[in-house]
Every structure is written in C-alpha cells, then in structure tokens.
Amino acid sequence: MRGSRIRGGLWAFLYLAPGALFGFIVLGFRSRRAKDAELLALRHEVAVLRRQVSRPTYRPADRALLALLSRLIPRKSWWQAFCVTPDTLLAWHRHLVARHRTYPNRGPGRSEVDEETQALVVRLAKENRRWGYKRIQGELLKLGVQLAASTISSILARHGIRPAPRRSSTSWRNFLKTQASSIIATDFFTVDTVFFERLYVLFFMELRRRRVWMTGVTDHPNGPWVTQQARSAAMDLDDARVAAKFLIRDRDAKYSHSFDKVFTGAGAKVVKTPTKAPNANAFVEHFVRSVRKECLDHLLITGERHLRRVLQVYADHYDTARPHQGLGQEIPTAPSAEGPRLLPLRGGKSADGHGSHGSRRGKICRRDRLGGLIHEYVRAA
C-alpha cells in the first residue's frame, strides 16, 4: 500500500515538474511589468484562499515541487510566495534529500517470514477453526516448516484471527508426566444419538505417548461387558509392548471388581482418583474434550455402529497424524502406510473446490477424514 502511494506521488511529480519548467521558460520572454502584475494578482488570490482555508492539503508531489522552487526564491520572499512557513519548506527539502541519499538498511532482529509461509499459516487457521497457534505449530513442524509459536500468534493477529490462549498445567499433571512411561488411564464418556439414545464409550490411554485404544461402545455398560473390554485392552497393550505398572481410573460404579482383577493379575496397580477431581485424570479428560470439540460436536450420531466407526477413524487420526503439545508437537505413532485419498493442492481453486498452496519444498496435500471434518496435511513424495 505504501509502495503504491510512493509510485503515485512520483508520477505526479514527473507530471508537474516539466510543466513548471516550461512555465519558467515562458516567463523569460515576458516583460517585467506583465510579470509583476501577474505576481500581484496571484498573491491576492493566495490571500483570498488563506481566508477561506485554514490549512491547505498538499500531496507528496506538491511538496516536492514547492521544496525545489523554494531554492530559487530569496528567503525574504518566502512568506509572500507560499502558504507554508519557511521551516516547513526546509523540512520538506530535508526529507527529499534523506530519501535520495539514504540506502535501505534493515535493523537487527529476526528475519521476516516469507509471504508463502504466512499464507500457509493463515490457511491452516481458516480451514481449521478449532486449531490454536500451538496446534498449527505442530502441523507446520510435520510439514517441515519451523516457526516459533509467538511468530504464528503474531501472523494470526495481523490477519484478524484470534490465537488460542495458553493453559497452565497443574502439579498433578507434572507428576503424571514424570511417571507416564508406566501409566495407563481409562475413563467413560457418553454420546447422545439423534434418537435420544445414550451410548457409553470406554477407552484406554497410554500416557507416555498419548496412544488411545477405543475398546467398546454400548448402551448398557454392565459388569460382564466392562470386564470383557478390560481383557481386550490388556491384549492390545501387550501387543503394543506396553508394560503397565499403574492403571488410573475414577470411582465410577461401572468398574467392577473383575475389571480391576484383570489388570492386577497382569502386575499393574489400580489407582483410584479422588471424588469429583477430574484433574487427577487430566490426560483422559483432555482427550474427551478433544474428541468432542474436534469431532463429535459436529456430527449427528445415528447409532452404536455409526459411533464406533467414527471413533475408530478419529482414534487413528489422533494416534497417527495429530501433533500433541505434550509431546513437543510430535505424533504418538508413525503414520500408517494406508490412508485416505490425497487431494493435491494447486494454485487458486482446484476442481474439487479445495484451497491451494504450493511450495519449493514439495507439494502439500490434504487428507480429508470423516467427510472433510478433519484435515491432515502431508508433503507429497
């Protein structure tokens, strides 16, 4: 914007300057009496204008031309010739000289982020309204773009996008982080279908790498069902070579004695959280919030089968493609070899209506999951 104003002022000056020079030449051929009479008339017109306009507005080209003409007029005649003070004219002239003699010089500080990377940051924010700047930082790291979180926050703020607030950790969470290599956590959460049926979902999480196992969905979580899910989870943990020493759960009555016995028999100690203390099981609570905010709150679930399929897709995304702040923006597991179809992102709008972004480091492709509700970004090979 500023560059366009400078170019416009330059063209205006190039238009005014030849006209003034031609008028100066023509005055050389006129008689002194005629020039004096015209000068008196012009001074009177200026005096009339001064009575009507308290402060005239000058364009950059006007300032440049008047500043140059001021060097040809004696100092004592400035007051009568111009509508500005001599100090103003001198300031204009110093500004012209400074712009002509000063070379571009960048001050100390970080290098600017190129427009291509800024466009990618804005695009990720606009296509994923529920992502904050830390979540975007993790996605960029996965794509090979390294930006500080503060830089991403500044880019979003300049484009009118509000960054997500930071959330502090509790001392209990810090304790769990130090012990996470041998801790498994579990919890229930509920989902209401479009037919007002309430379904219960049981899941387990390995705290060290945040891997999630969705073990079962039911409308009636009785003792035998919960015990069977515990056996399935124990086999999955064994296949993943996870040696659990502790199992954290709340005091929900749905956890039967046989449920605890499955894990104690495998050498794990069951740790029950205090009553009405969700922060004591903060990691699974955070997962429940994530699965609702990023997935379930935006879908109408028709039944148990539908919910099981949706959760399976989201769990795969959570484990293989979603960067985690608690892991330093790493992904819990390596992406699976098979995945959804890649949608190439070309310049402008592509035929499928998706946005585009090219890069010298490789074409960025987007995976759409759950009908485009979840976006995953990778660099094409």
Check whether residue 311 and residue 178 sit in a common domain.
yes
Q: What is the pLDDT of residue 351?
A: 36
Q: Report yes or no on 107 lying in a domain.
A: no
Check whether residue 7 and residue 66 sit in a common domain.
yes
Containing structural domain, residue 207: 171-327
Q: Are 122 and 156 in contact (CB under 8 A)?
A: yes
Q: Which CATH number do you get for residue 208?
A: 3.30.420.10
Check whether residue 232 and residue 268 sit in a common domain.
yes
Check whether residue 310 and residue 346 sit in a common domain.
no
Count how many Cα atoms sit within 13 Å of the Cα of residue 166 in the half-sphere of its side chain: 8
Q: Report yes or no on 106 lying in a domain.
A: no
Q: Report yes or no on 109 lying in a domain.
A: no
Check whether residue 130 and residue 201 sit in a common domain.
no
- Amino acid code (one letter) for 298: H
Check whether residue 262 and residue 215 sit in a common domain.
yes
* CA angle centred on 359, ends 354 and 361, rounded to 5°: 135
Q: What is the pLDDT of residue 322?
A: 86
Q: What is the pLDDT of residue 198?
A: 94
Check whether residue 27 and residue 10 sit in a common domain.
yes
Q: Report yes or no on 235 lying in a domain.
A: yes
**H/E element, 367:** strand 364-369
Q: Domain end: 101, 133, 153, which one?
A: 101
Q: What is the pLDDT of residue 82?
A: 60
| Number of structural domains the chain divides into | 3
Q: pLDDT tens digits for the chain (381 residues)?
A: 555 555 556 666 666 667 666 666 766 666 776 766 776 677 767 766 766 766 667 777 776 766 666 666 665 555 555 666 666 656 766 776 666 555 555 555 566 888 888 899 989 888 887 788 888 998 898 888 888 888 988 888 888 887 765 444 445 555 656 666 678 899 999 999 999 999 999 999 988 888 899 988 999 999 899 999 999 999 988 888 888 889 999 998 899 899 999 999 888 899 999 888 888 888 899 999 999 999 999 999 999 999 999 999 999 999 888 888 777 788 887 544 444 444 444 444 433 444 445 445 678 888 899 988 999 888 876
Check whether residue 130 and residue 255 sit in a common domain.
no
The encoded tokens of residue 155 equal 């880019």
Q: Report yes or no on 13 lying in a domain.
A: yes
Q: What is the pLDDT of residue 203?
A: 94
Q: What is the pLDDT of residue 13?
A: 62
